[in-house]
Amino acid sequence: MFDLYRRLSGALGSSSPDDDEARPDGGVVSERSAPDPGPESEPGPLARVGSAVDRRLGSDFFESSLFWLPPFLLMALFVYGAIIWNLLISLTDYRGFANAPDYGNLDFGMYSRALADPGFIDAAVNTLILLVAFTGATLAVGLVLAILIDRGIRFENAFRTIYLLPMSLSFVVTAQFWLWMYNFNNGIVNLFLGTFGIGPISFLGNQTIVLWAIIFALMWQFSGYAMVVYLAGLRAIPTEHYEAAQVDGASTLKMYWRVIIPQLKGATISAAVVLMVFGMKAFDFLYSLVGGYRPPNGADILATKMVREAYANLNWAYGAAIAIVLFGMALAVIGPYLVYEYRRNNL
Amino acid sequence: MSDAEIRRTNELTRAARLRRSVEQTTPSEVALYVVLLVMAGFYLVPIESGLVTSIKTNTAIIQTAPYAPPGAGGATLEKWQTAIDALLRGMGNSLLYAVPATVISAALGSVTAYGLTMPTWKQAYKAPLIALIVAGIFIPYQAVLVPLTQFWSQWVQLAQHLSFVWAIGVPDDYAGIIELVVTHVAYGLPICTLLFRTYYKTMSTEMIESARLDGASLRRVYRRIVLPLSGPMFAVVLIYQFTQIWNDLLFTLVLVSTESSPAAPVVLILAGLGSSLEGQDFALRMAGAFFAALPTLAVYIFFGDEFAEGVSA
């Protein structure tokens, strides 16, 4: 009890010399002192409540709220406020040039419309394919690169810099590069395949391969990222584990498969979550590929369909409903991840 | 390698060392370097091909291989000229929102992370707040776009409130730039906070605790102890945020909307560059892509380590 009082009065007393400029946290200080009478006076009911609040939240709760609360509220308004608002809009019939949706008449009409829309189903399936294939391929390439780079090679920095380079580029920029790579007549991909007698293939015009071509391009852009994450994971593994495996006579391949890769679970999970989110954001890439809202046939994903419905067709409520579905997908990935991180005490 | 071995290596002449290292290179090491080089080629080919294509004439594009440099007479800087003419104003506009948004979100992220890391209050109550912040990093922005449009166009209506600015001759599209700054700060806050938090968690608490016992306020501790030690992390966060904000297309598309707008950012103009009814002008596209990527490329080349740290955290 005495310690609590000392800390409280110390914090209060010291805030005065700091008060040379007007402090916007006057309310905070009084809030802090309000439950304070406890320590000096007889421990009445009020004091017990006051110290209980402090014990509960920690002695610095109110003073520190000045630091985190305003930015947190700004973020919460724009993220969670907007998502709730979006949910509300998705229940209206808002479309066209009207200034605001009519909130008086809410129903799930937009969701049943989505289920009946073959374009929506296609986009949802494409989104899932993109997420799974892109994340899997990127993680695999990243892991192989990280293991190769971790073999104590020379020029490690140069290789790492080159592998991560595409990640620093905008989707808008890389889309231009891949448009040229996939060009039917002069593209390098077709030129390369031509030396094996394959093609030429119209990668962006063929409905069955366009999605895979895009996944490949995205993999190119982000495998460097997976490599960096895995490299950090590999460097955290004690060398004794390698040595122990070698003493046991395990081959290099076996050592990685049995001993090292299982220890990269944490790195895999966090990289996979981030990559899936990048995959859901592939809108920028698809938009830039065609310079418009309509991606190549066969490559429509929920992210592009949502923006097209809302901003090109002015079906605001329908767009909002698609966005909620996309958000649900993201939540299905992030939710378990956050629980996992919380259990590991990582938050 | 033992000490004796290292000493012996140091005594060898340069040539001898080279010969030795060549002799010691096993076939598997050769294979390793070959694979690494092939992969380096894989990452560089689209970029290299773009670079040589950007300086080719229209005939050279058809006649030379896409990865080969233009032959004599096939090289021209004309496309770069056109691209720079088209994109220069966009570069200015992009800087106009990317720089303030980067600085503000980094500063706020540092303050938020400090408030959620150093002061002593219960982890059980911090954790949900931090979970909400971390989740904020991962939400697909599509889920907030329609409300965002409503918010800026119907509720805030910056374009009307700032009429005194437009009166002095600034096109009122520049309201979009201010909207972009606020929007990017709000959505950049979670990642900035997380990056600073991972850094502050590793910071030694002894100095801070003793300062607190001596009666220093949280504000004083931040200003005198935490902020001066945050330098390296500020570099990481500023670089990461700048790259993200500069590269983002979605918000610019929704808030500024047309590439013909005087306030159009560079990514928005680039997305529509080089495509016309007659076909696609790839040289122009490549030149534009490189020009638009120059700031982020420069940042990456000079601060590659900080960038790697930012993305891997």
| Residues 163-192, chain B, touching A (beta carbon < 8 A) | 183, 185-187, 189-190
Quote the pLDDT of residue A37. Answer: 43
Residues B134-148 as b or e (16 or more Cβ within 10 Å = b): bbbbbbbbbbbbbbb
**A109-343: CATH architecture:** Orthogonal Bundle (1.10)
**Are the CB atoms for A189 and A182 separated by under 8 Å?**
yes
Weakest-pLDDT range from A6-20, A168-182, A254-268: A6-20
Q: Which of B44, B112, B197, B217 to mutate to test the interface with A (most CBs of A within 10 A)?
A: B217
Quickly list H helices, A16-108: 26-33, 45-57, 61-76, 82-90
| Residues 133-192, chain A, touching B (beta carbon < 8 A) | 145, 148-149, 151, 153, 159-181, 183, 185-188, 191
**Are the CB atoms for B226 and B294 separated by under 8 Å?**
no
Quote the pLDDT of residue B164. Answer: 76
Q: How many CB atoms lie within 10 A of CB B57?
A: 17
Tens digit of each residue's pLDDT (9 = 90 or more) over B195-236: 898 888 888 788 888 888 887 788 888 888 888 888 888 888
Q: Which of B116, B126, B146, B273 to mutate to test the interface with A (most CBs of A within 10 A)?
A: B146
- Dmax (CA) for chain A in angstroms is 93
Q: What is the reported pTM?
A: 0.81
Selected residue with higher pLDDT from A241 and A4 = A241
Quote the pLDDT of residue A19. Answer: 37
Tens digit of each residue's pLDDT (9 = 90 or more) over A287-339: 888 888 888 888 888 889 999 988 888 888 899 999 999 999 888 888 888 88
Tens digit of each residue's pLDDT (9 = 90 or more) over B231-287: 888 888 898 899 889 988 889 888 887 777 788 888 888 887 766 655 678 888 888
Quote the pLDDT of residue B16. Answer: 65
Quote the pLDDT of residue B59. Answer: 78
Residues B105-131 as b or e (16 or more Cβ within 10 Å = b): bbbbbbbbbbbbbbbebeeeebbebbb
Collect all residues with Cβ–Cβ distance below 8 Å to A31 and sequence separation of at least 6.
A62
Q: HSE on the CB side for B279, CA within 13 Å?
A: 6
Quote the pLDDT of residue B20. Answer: 63
Which of A81, A162, A181 has the CB atom closest to B44's CB atom? A162
Q: How far is CA B278 from the centre of its chain?
A: 34
Q: How far is CA A189 from CA A110, A141, A222, A329, in A?
A: 42, 19, 19, 33
Tens digit of each residue's pLDDT (9 = 90 or more) over B113-152: 888 887 777 777 778 888 888 888 888 888 898 898 888 8
Q: Is the predicted pLDDT of residue A233 greater than 80, yes or no? A: yes
Selected residue with higher pLDDT from B168 and B222 = B222
Quote the pLDDT of residue A27. Answer: 38
Which of A172, A280, A334 has the CB atom closest to B271's CB atom? A172
**By C-alpha distance, which of A234, A228, A223 is closest to A157?**
A228
Q: How far is CA A172 from the centre of its chain?
A: 19
Q: Is the predicted pLDDT of residue A3 greater than 50, yes or no? A: no
Give the C-alpha separation, B207 to B219, whole Å: 15
Which of A14, A76, A172 has the CB atom closest to B132's CB atom? A76
Give the C-alpha separation, B270 to B286, whole Å: 10
Does B142 sit within 8 Å of A326, measured CB to CB? yes
Q: Is A154 helix (H, G, I), strand (E, B) or coil?
A: coil
Bridge partners of residue B279, in order along the sequence: B276
Quote the pLDDT of residue A251. Answer: 78
Q: How confident is the model at residue A46 (pLDDT cuts 50, 70, 90)?
A: low
- Mean pLDDT, chain B, whole residue set: 82
Three-state helix/strand/coil letters over chain B:
CCHHHHHHHHHCCHHHHHHHHHHHCCHHHHHHHHHHHHHHHHHHHHHHHHHHHHCECHHHHHHCCCCCCCCCCCECCHHHHHHHHHHHHHHHHHHHHHHHHHHHHHHHHHHHHHHHHCCCCCHHHHHHHHHHHHHHHHCCCHHHHHHHHHHHHHHHCHHHHCHHHHHCCCCHHHHHHHHHHHHHHHHHHHHHHHHHHHHHHCCCCHHHHHHHHCCCCHHHHHHHHHHHHCHHHHHHHHHHHHHHHHHCCHHHHHHCCCCCCCCCCHHHHHHCCCEECCEECHHHHHHHHHHHHHHHHHHHHHCHHHHHHHHHC
Give the C-alpha separation, B102 to B262, whole Å: 22
Q: Is the predicted pLDDT of residue A41 greater than 60, yes or no? A: no
As a whole number of Å, the CA-based R_g of chain A is 28
Tens digit of each residue's pLDDT (9 = 90 or more) over A176-204: 899 888 888 888 888 888 888 787 788 88
Quote the pLDDT of residue A6. Answer: 44
Residue ranges, comma separated, of all CATH 1.10.3720.10 domains in chain A are: 109-343
Q: Is the predicted pLDDT of residue B1 greater than 60, yes or no? A: no
Q: Is the predicted pLDDT of residue B92 greater than 80, yes or no? A: yes
Q: What is the mean pLDDT of residues A255-282?
A: 83
Quote the pLDDT of residue A138. Answer: 94
Give the C-alpha separation, A47 to A52, whole Å: 8
Tens digit of each residue's pLDDT (9 = 90 or more) over A269-286: 888 888 887 887 788 899
- Work out the burial of residue B290: count CB atoms within 10 Å of its CB; fewer than 13 is exposed, 13-18 middle, 19 or more buried: buried
Tens digit of each residue's pLDDT (9 = 90 or more) over A115-168: 888 889 999 999 999 999 999 999 999 999 998 888 878 888 888 888 988 888
* Identity of residue B163: S
Tokens of B243: 């790259």
Quote the pLDDT of residue B313. Answer: 66
Quote the pLDDT of residue B309. Answer: 79
* Identity of residue A272: A
Quote the pLDDT of residue A57. Answer: 65
For domain B78-312, which CATH number applies: 1.10.1060.10, 1.10.1040.10, 1.10.3720.10, 1.50.10.10? 1.10.3720.10
Which of A57, A74, A160 has the CB atom closest to B125's CB atom? A57
Residue ranges of domains in chain B: 3-63, 78-312
Weakest-pLDDT range from A79-93, A158-172, B67-81, B98-112: B67-81
